[in-house]
């Protein structure tokens, strides 16, 4: 009886859980497919990689201008980034196992926002960096125009920081309504982490969402990355992986 009454050891906070290691499939796709497409075809560059916490759960918040964004984002950050994908894609031979190995997780067509939030929270509890396009859909001008509070809610539920990221020019490379790709430079600027909202109340979520929007659009306004901006030095004041 005494053993039954012994208190169960509490689970570790999500940010302390070791980040899942990239699978072999993920590494092959990243270096044999995404790397040449991003670095060679689109003359890709990244800046701010020192701001990326390499361990612990993280909500990666980005603008969205193209279907190219998810694989490029995961490659540029140097750690796998989990994204939602339609459940039907996981039943496609070859494609299904590949996107699952890359960290994508299925969301059923017609699923409620509440169900999608629960699924994404589960990924954070496993230690993943979870990607959210803050507008929800692709934007023809590539900017953050109508940000949604989903990313902030995820961060508040899991108690993990948000990392704003600006994807520059992907809307010009393969944006909404374009029939084919244009080989323009695509650069990625990584901002500094933002603490999770203090609560799930709407004012706190809106404040965190507005901070993400302001930082991403400010990074976009800096334009393409020059060679002198590629230094790896870690900026001062960057938050640790856990709050």
Domain boundaries, the chain: 22-176+184-227
User: Structure pTM?
Assistant: 0.82
As given in the structure block, the two tokens for residue 151 are 């990313």
Task: Average the pLDDT over each of 50-54, 80-84, 198-202 and give the range with the smallest value.
Answer: 80-84
Distance between CA atoms of residues 233 and 221, nearest Å: 22
Residues 41 and 170: beta-carbon distance below 8 Å: no
Architecture of the domain delimited by 22-176+184-227: 3-Layer(aba) Sandwich (3.40)
Distance between CA atoms of residues 242 and 223, nearest Å: 30
Task: Average the pLDDT over each of 34-38, 103-107, 114-118, 232-236 and give the range with the smallest value.
Answer: 232-236
Check pLDDT > 80 for residue 212: yes
The pLDDT of residue 110 is 58
Given pLDDT bands bounded at 50, 70 and 90, which one contains residue 233? very low
The pLDDT of residue 112 is 57
Angle between helices 150-158 and 202-221 (to 10 degrees): 120
The pLDDT of residue 147 is 95
Given pLDDT bands bounded at 50, 70 and 90, which one contains residue 243? very low
Q: What is the pLDDT of residues 14-70, one digit of tens each?
A: 545 667 777 787 888 888 888 999 999 999 999 999 999 988 899 999 999 988 898
Rounded average pLDDT over 213-225: 96
Highest mean pLDDT of the ranges 11-25, 119-133, 198-212: 198-212
Burial environment of residue 125 by CB neighbours within 10 A (0 to 12, 13 to 18, 19 or more): middle
Q: What is the pLDDT of residues 149-193, one digit of tens each?
A: 999 999 999 999 999 999 999 999 988 888 888 999 999 999 999
pLDDT above 90 covers a percentage of the chain that reads 45
Of the two residues 3 and 91, the one the predictor is more confident about is 91
């Amino acid at each position: 009886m005494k053993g039954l009454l012994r208190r169960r050891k509490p689970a570790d906070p999500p940010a302390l859980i070791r980040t899942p290691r990239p699978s072999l499939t993920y590494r092959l796709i990243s270096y044999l497919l995404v790397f040449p497409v991003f670095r060679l075809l689109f003359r890709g560059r990244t800046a701010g990689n020192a701001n990326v916490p390499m361990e612990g759960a993280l909500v990666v918040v980005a603008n969205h201008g193209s279907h190219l964004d998810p694989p490029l984002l995961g490659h540029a950050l140097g750690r796998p980034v989990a994204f939602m994908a339609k459940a039907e894609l996981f039943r496609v031979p070859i494609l299904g196992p590949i996107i699952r190995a890359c960290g994508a997780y299925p969301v059923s067509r017609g699923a409620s926002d509440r169900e999608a939030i629960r699924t994404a929270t589960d990924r954070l509890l496993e230690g993943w960096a979870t990607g959210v396009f803050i507008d929800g859909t692709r934007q023809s001008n590539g900017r953050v125009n109508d940000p949604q509070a989903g990313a902030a809610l995820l961060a508040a539920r899991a108690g993990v920081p948000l990392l704003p990221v600006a994807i520059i020019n992907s809307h010009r490379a393969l944006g909404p309504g374009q029939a084919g790709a244009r080989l323009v430079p695509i650069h990625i600027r990584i901002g500094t982490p933002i603490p999770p909202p203090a609560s799930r109340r709407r004012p706190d979520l809106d404040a965190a969402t507005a901070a993400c929007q302001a930082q991403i659009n400010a990074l976009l306004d800096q334009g393409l990355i020059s060679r002198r901006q590629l230094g790896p030095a870690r900026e001062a004041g960057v938050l640790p992986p856990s709050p």
